[in-house]
A and B are shown apart, each in its own frame.
Chain A
Amino acid sequence: MSSKDPATMTEEGTASVSLSRRRSRRRRAVITTILIAVAIFLAIADVCLGHEVYSLSDVWSVISGSGSGGAQFSIGEIRLPRALVALFCGAGFGIAGTSFQTLLGNVLASPDIIGVTAGANLAAVLAITVLGLSGLALFGVAVAGGLATACCVLLLSWSRGLASSSSPTSRFILVGIGIAAMLNAATSWLMVRADQWDVQAASRWLTGSLTDVGWSDVIPAVACVVGGYLALTVVGKSLDILRFGTPMATGLGVKVNSARAGIIVISVMILSVMTATTGPIAFVSFLAGPIAVRLLGSQKPALLSGAAVGAIIVLLADIVAQHLPSGKVPVGVMTSLVGGPLLVFLVARMMRKAE
């Protein structure tokens, strides 16, 4: 015999659903805040630690313009821009990777794998070794390369819309792998052609390095990440809905193809500017999203936490890379040594869970 009438039960059910939803939202907010705090803490640590360790008050006096000569130079000219670039480029890689992965509903759809990074690389290496460009022109060329590659991959994997067949994303990814192979071959051809001196610059750059960044790199990186993030939050609603698949999204009134195209263009722009600034720091854009999703414990797109995780990865790798007993190595070396096996592990898990 039931002691409750159906109406109360439904009410209780709704209450518990909205309670758990509120809880998970609060959890997400708390975790995102913690991640951002950790990223900022690491950025400060990156400024303080080094050959000479400075205290927070030293750093503050440099920022306020009253530091002594040595500190003024090594903090103001070297470490501060470096930490800022690490923070924002990490965030940018994280945002771009997360939005690609969410959009295409597949971890492997990260720009590292589908050729966008390879396109930006090729364009940048061309700009460095053949055209001798730097600064804004280099950014422009890299962005153009990244966008052109993304367009190629999209067009080549298009047949009656991206989503016509049962596994559109897998075709997209496979076409991207093919394009990436071709572009990488062209990049290595340029590397073989190049002068000895350019090769060192280009290969340091291809691994991803923070050694040569200065204040002139900070402004474009910050502007691009902040602007890109804001733009993505505007189209973010459709990103959230696209996750449920094309039919559902269309039903909910999203213009699927144009929303997808918009998200891709913004992400590629962020990614290419970051790539032109530091070089492709390996696997950051791939790993940030999955780690953020795991920490948040949900499937919702997590741009902000993806950004924070990306920044944390780059800053952590940079701090470790600068203090290795065997001497300094570029930050990209650290991320690839740790990220490669992690990538294989993630994919293995994905395959096992797939059925």
Chain B
Amino acid sequence: MKRANTKARQRTALLLCGSGVLLIAVCLCSVAIGSRPVSLDQIVTALTQSSAGGTALEAIRLRIPRTVLGVLLGVALASAGALMQAVTRNPLADPTILGLNSGASCAVVLSMAAFGLTSPSQYVWTALVGGGIGAAVVWWIGSLGKSGPNPLKLTLAGAVVGSMFSSVTSAVLLPRIDVISSFRFWAVGGISGARFSSMLPLLPIFGVGMVLAIICIPGLNALALGDELAVGLGGSIRRIRLLSWTAAVLLCAASTSLAGPIGFVGLIVPHVARLIVGPDFRKILAAGVLLGPLLLVGADVVGRLVSRPADVEVGIVTAIIGAPVFIALVRSGFARRSSL
């Protein structure tokens, strides 16, 4: 028994180390691969000598913030997805599916069009409001009825609220041709325009979100056992729900204002993490910190490879990878247990 336990633990550790190595490799690829290929020693030069010039070094200097942003968003979106899956006890939860990202991006578009805001540090606040409203409406609609929220109701509510937000977005955009052309790049979710100067002001928001997520760990582990047991174990369900939704909204709003809505990272990563480390939420969150960036940066690299020299935006790649995962989860049979 004990031996089996150690064996499982060894396997977990091995898988995690493997994904760590893979993550480093993917990050290196992300710096090295692009419309202009560069060699390893050029990367070293670019990192060590800030004065050296040349096109290759310029390309590297543009790709480094892009990679960093990919890692940051990977961590944030994976954690937000894990939080939402835990707090709604819904295997289909994801910031995009539950309406957070569409709320945030609708708010950003409104503020772009109405107040002419241009930088992420300005419209992150409207994104917070929009994401919060989206989350609240989805949770409210999904909890209507006597049986309370279940995966099916929440997902349907998310789809409906999401399509409401996106129709408002397009209604606002359509008469403004100038905003459309800048928005169409933003709306698909891409990290190609990453700059450290726009990331820095948002770091505190990511930080607060992650700290809240860590605070929620014991509560969410208790919640996984069911509402009654969680109360019995001394947790306040209402407080845990509020805290974890807040954390998820913070993380998603900050990510959305930097890169536009990127879907399905928050859906896939927690499931893969659960396969590797088991149901403990603490471990899922920790594994997500590795796996989220791996998926996001990896998807970005794939997007650069498939249609060279142009890029496929990372949000499109994750949607095309993620939707089949979503369908597989639906088919796996949870829907049979929950009904309207």
* Chain A positions near chain B (C-beta within 8 angstroms): 106, 108, 112-113, 156-157, 159, 165-167, 170-171, 173-175, 177-179, 181-182, 184-186, 188-189, 191-193, 196, 199-200, 203-204, 206-207, 282-283, 327, 329-330, 332-333, 336-337, 339-341, 343-344, 347-348, 350-355
Could you list some 30 contacts between A and B, CB below 8 A?
Answer: A108-B159, A167-B339, A171-B330, A173-B156, A174-B152, A174-B330, A178-B323, A178-B324, A179-B327, A181-B263, A181-B264, A182-B320, A186-B316, A188-B316, A189-B313, A191-B188, A192-B184, A192-B188, A203-B170, A206-B170, A207-B171, A336-B171, A337-B168, A337-B171, A341-B164, A343-B160, A347-B156, A347-B160, A348-B140, A351-B144
Q: Name the one of B96, B145, B185 contacting A351, with C-beta atoms under 8 angstroms.
A: B145
B335 at the interface (CB under 8 A from A): yes
B319 at the interface (CB under 8 A from A): yes
A171 partner residues in chain B, CB cutoff 8 A: 330-331, 335-336
B49 at the interface (CB under 8 A from A): no
A350 to B160, CA, bound (A): 12
Q: Name the one of A157, A177, A354 contacting B159, with C-beta atoms under 8 angstroms.
A: A177
Q: Shortest CB–CB separation between residue A118 and chain B, in angstroms?
A: 10
In addition to A167-B339, A177-B326, A204-B174, 13 A-B residue pairs with Cβ atoms within 8 Å of each other are A166-B336, A171-B330, A178-B326, A181-B96, A188-B187, A203-B173, A282-B167, A330-B174, A336-B168, A339-B167, A343-B163, A351-B145, A351-B340
B155 to A177, Cβ gap below 8 A? yes
B338 partner residues in chain A, CB cutoff 8 A: 167, 170
B316 partner residues in chain A, CB cutoff 8 A: 185-186, 188-189
Within 8 A of A (CB), among B139-165: 140-142, 144-147, 152-153, 155-157, 159-161, 163-165
A203 to B174, Cβ gap below 8 A? yes
- Interface stretch, picked from B63-71, B175-183, B230-238, is B175-183
Q: Name the one of B153, B163, B312, B339 contacting A340, with C-beta atoms under 8 angstroms.
A: B163
Q: Which residue of A lies closest to B140 (CB)?
A: A348
A173 to B151, CA, bound (A): 13
Q: Which residue of B lies closest to A159 (CB)?
A: B331
A92 to B241, CA, bound (A): 44
Q: Which residue of B lies closest to A165 (CB)?
A: B336
Q: Shortest CB–CB separation between residue A97 and chain B, in angstroms?
A: 14
B185 to A192, Cβ gap below 8 A? yes
Within 8 A of A (CB), among B108-164: 137, 140-142, 144-147, 152-153, 155-157, 159-161, 163-164
Q: Shortest CB–CB separation between residue B181 and chain A, in angstroms?
A: 6
Q: Which residue of A lies closest to B321 (CB)?
A: A182
Q: Which residue of B lies closest to A209 (CB)?
A: B174
Q: Name the one of A112, A175, A191, A330 contacting B163, with C-beta atoms under 8 angstroms.
A: A112
Q: Is the interface of B mostly helix, strand, loop or mixed?
A: helix
Q: Shortest CB–CB separation between residue B100 and chain A, in angstroms?
A: 14
Q: Shortest CB–CB separation between residue B267 and chain A, in angstroms?
A: 10
A185 to B335, Cβ gap below 8 A? no
A81 to B168, CA, bound (A): 28
A207 partner residues in chain B, CB cutoff 8 A: 170-171, 174
User: Quick one: given A166-B336, A185-B316, are A351 and B152 in contact (CB under 8 Å)?
Assistant: no
* Chain B positions near chain A (C-beta within 8 angstroms): 92, 96-97, 137, 140-142, 144-147, 152-153, 155-157, 159-161, 163-165, 167-168, 170-171, 173-175, 177, 180-181, 184-185, 187-188, 263-264, 310, 312-313, 315-316, 319-320, 322-324, 326-327, 330-331, 335-336, 338-340
A113 to B181, Cβ gap below 8 A? no
Q: Which residue of A lies closest to B149 (CB)?
A: A351
User: Quick one: given A113-B163, A348-B141, A355-B146, are A185 and B171 in contact (CB under 8 Å)?
Assistant: no
Q: Is the interface of A mostly helix, strand, loop or mixed?
A: helix
User: Quick one: given A174-B335, A185-B315, are A108 and B160 in contact (CB under 8 Å)?
Assistant: yes
Q: Name the one of A108, A174, A196, A340 contacting B92, with C-beta atoms under 8 angstroms.
A: A174
A181 to B158, CA, bound (A): 12
Q: Shortest CB–CB separation between residue B99 and chain A, in angstroms?
A: 10
A352 to B322, CA, bound (A): 31
A108 partner residues in chain B, CB cutoff 8 A: 156, 159-160
A178 to B163, Cβ gap below 8 A? no
Q: Which residue of A lies closest to B94 (CB)?
A: A181
Q: Name the one of A106, A181, A343 contacting B326, with C-beta atoms under 8 angstroms.
A: A181
Q: Shortest CB–CB separation between residue A285 and chain B, in angstroms?
A: 12
Q: Which residue of A lies closest to B175 (CB)?
A: A329
A206 to B310, CA, bound (A): 24
Q: Shortest CB–CB separation between residue B133 and chain A, in angstroms?
A: 12
Q: Name the one of B97, B157, B188, B340 contacting A188, with C-beta atoms under 8 angstroms.
A: B188
Q: Can you list the 3 inter-chain pairs with the closest CB atoms, starting with the nearest?
A: A336-B167, A185-B319, A340-B164
Q: Shortest CB–CB separation between residue A38 and chain B, in angstroms?
A: 25
A179 to B330, CA, bound (A): 12
Q: Shortest CB–CB separation between residue B323 and chain A, in angstroms?
A: 4
B323 to A179, Cβ gap below 8 A? yes
A76 to B322, CA, bound (A): 50
Q: Shortest CB–CB separation between residue B332 and chain A, in angstroms?
A: 10
A192 to B336, Cβ gap below 8 A? no
Most buried by A among B152, B174, B188, B326: B174
B145 to A352, Cβ gap below 8 A? yes
Q: Shortest CB–CB separation between residue A174 and chain B, in angstroms?
A: 4
User: Quick one: given A108-B156, A329-B174, A347-B157, are A175 and B331 in contact (CB under 8 Å)?
Assistant: yes
